[in-house]
Amino acid sequence: MSSLLASTAAPRSPLALIWQDSLTVFWGDWLDLRVRITQIVSSGLVSPLIYIVAFGFGLGSSLRPGSGLPSGYNSYLEFILPGMVALSSMAISFGGTTFSICGERLFSKTFEETLLLPVHPLALHIGKMIAGVVRGLLTSVSLLAIAILATGSWGFLNPLFLLTLVLNCATFAGIGVLVGLRVKSLETVGLYNNFLIVPMSFLGATFFDPAQLPIVLKAAVYLMPLTYTNLGLRAAAYNPANYPWYSLLILVLLATSLAALGAKQFASQQD
């Protein structure tokens, strides 16, 4: 009877199979992540806390509404807090994903086992990306608590804020997957970090309002994914009625495109 039911059961869709396989790949990473949650959370807090003290309380104490502070904000600290969440989630999602894959490829030599899994290449990318998203969200939890205490705004738990944050993590985890698959040494990872992540940290609208920039600089700033995250997070936290929906669309397109590139890279990867 059971065999008859099994034979007559409707076949599962390819997307459902890919999603299940993605969760299987993610579970392998989660078994390692769950024993290092404290380390992951603390490592992502150092730089943002330094920026909050130096810029939010230091430089920010000399800025007042109408005298250098973007309009609509009571303090510079209030302005940069959503950016700190974006910055931290970007760094950890990218760095954690990249170093995880590099460690398996270059040191433990266990990445071949991942490539031999009987799953779709897209499932491999999504599984690794989900692990990166979880890393970014774990780090963001503490910063969200700091932001809510500092501003008294519960907008940091706005569904739009959380959705934008997840898409930011997915975008940079996707970049981390591609970098992790292609680099030949940890020194090369440092180059990507120095020429991609660090410039974006300071030029991705984290510490300033891009609307106030000259047109040439504004064009460069709007080429950075982090800019759209910062614009979306600030609006979701303080003014959701004016949320820039184009930011959400761009982040979705970026994450989707990176998933396609990641699947292609996994399909041809040889280690």
Q: Return the CA Rg of the chain.
A: 20
The pLDDT-based confidence of 247 (bands split at 50, 70, 90) is: very high
What's the confidence (pLDDT) of residue 59? Answer: 65
Q: Determine how many CB atoms are found less than 10 A away from the CB of residue 4.
A: 8
pLDDT tens, position by position, 13-72: 888 899 999 999 999 899 888 888 888 777 777 777 787 777 766 666 666 655 556 767
pTM of the model: 0.89
**100 has a pLDDT exceeding 70:** yes
pLDDT at 48: 79
Residue 146 has pLDDT above 60, yes or no: yes
Bigger pLDDT: 143 vs 53: 143
28-37, 68-77, 113-122, 259-268: range with lowest mean pLDDT:
68-77
Whether the predicted pLDDT of 104 surpasses 50: yes
Average pLDDT over residues 249-270: 94
Angle, CA of 183, 185 and 187, to the nearest 5°: 105
* Burial bucket for residue 121 (CB in 10 Å: 0-12, 13-18, 19+): middle
| Span 178-224, pLDDT tens digits | 999 999 888 888 899 999 999 999 899 988 888 888 888 899 999 99
